[in-house]
Amino acid sequence: MVTAAAMHRAFDGANSLGRYAALAPSFNEAMLLAGISTRNRAVMWFAQLGHESIGLSVFRELWDPTPDQRTYDGRMGNDQPGDGFRYRGRGAIQMTGKNNYRECSKWAHARGAVPTPTYFLDDPAAAERDEYVFLPAVWYWTTQRDLNGLSDRRDLVGATRAINGGTNGLADRQRRYALCDSMADALLHERTITMSYADDELTKKFPSRSKYRTTGDPIDTLAGFVLNTDARIHEEFVEREALAGQQWAIDLVRREADKGDAAAKAVLAKVGR
């Protein structure tokens, strides 16, 4: 996983290490969901999210309201009085307007990330909570613009236009991009690091180093170890969220419990569902 220390450095220390540690699980999940699997994609992701959220410290649009913000009512699907304020910008790349809240909800629900297809529409403030705050960014990055393609081409200006509609804040984005480019190896999820290995390296097998191992214990390939680590991280994340009362996670755990999974059943028993 990308560590809190790497996030602290890449995002200019806008938050404490503890705060980045709290954000790290959902941030790493978002990177996987967005396909941030190469150096160039990671550099662009960190640079753009860093600018848009001031180093992951601001996840809600400041509401003056300015004249532009007052006109949100009647635009972007805001068809009821107060919708402009209710559906103001939220997330690491700020999602704005009722239409976008609706579409992002459908997308996130289809991927099992939120419990209902109208989740953010019904509870707009959920889009700024730690467990969901990066989902609007992933939705926009992958469905509204081809930001991975722009990242692959290292097109910082093009990516900025895709996110901002212009080149607002370009100097800060360039500074962040250069910083992240200098530390790119620390910004990739461990699952993606194996992409730099030759195929024969991935298929090598290694014995267990566990003190509990027994003679004849099965061994796995390097690729298998990495995939198993990813699975364990995601399972721990979902189970932790279920124990914290997150309904979407409880639903996923129940799905596995219904298949007979003993660990999932144990989690449900603790949740009391």
Taking only the tens place, the pLDDT of each residue in 92-129 is 999 999 999 999 999 999 988 999 999 999 999 999 99
The answer to whether 92 and 48 have CB atoms below 8 angstroms apart is no
The answer to whether 177 and 47 have CB atoms below 8 angstroms apart is yes
> Confidence class of residue 218 from pLDDT cuts 50, 70 and 90?
low
205-206 vs 220-221, strand pairing mode:
antiparallel
3-state helix/strand/coil string of 225-265: HHHHHHHHHHHHHHHHHHHCCCHHHHHHHHHHHHCCCHHHH
Phi and psi at 101, nearest 5°, equal -60, -40
| Number of H-type helices and E-type strands within the chain | 16, 2
What pLDDT score does 220 carry?
67
Taking only the tens place, the pLDDT of each residue in 154-170 is 999 999 999 999 999 99
Interatomic CA distance for residues 95 and 133, integer angstroms: 10
What predicted TM-score, i.e. pTM, was given to this entire model? 0.69
The answer to whether 11 and 20 have CB atoms below 8 angstroms apart is yes
| 6 pLDDT above the threshold of 80 | yes
Cα 164 to Cα 54, 68, 123, 148, 224: the distances in Å are 14, 15, 25, 16, 40
Torsion from C-alpha of 55, 139, 192, 171, nearest 10 degrees? -40
Closest CA relative to residue 135, chosen from 164, 113, 116: 113
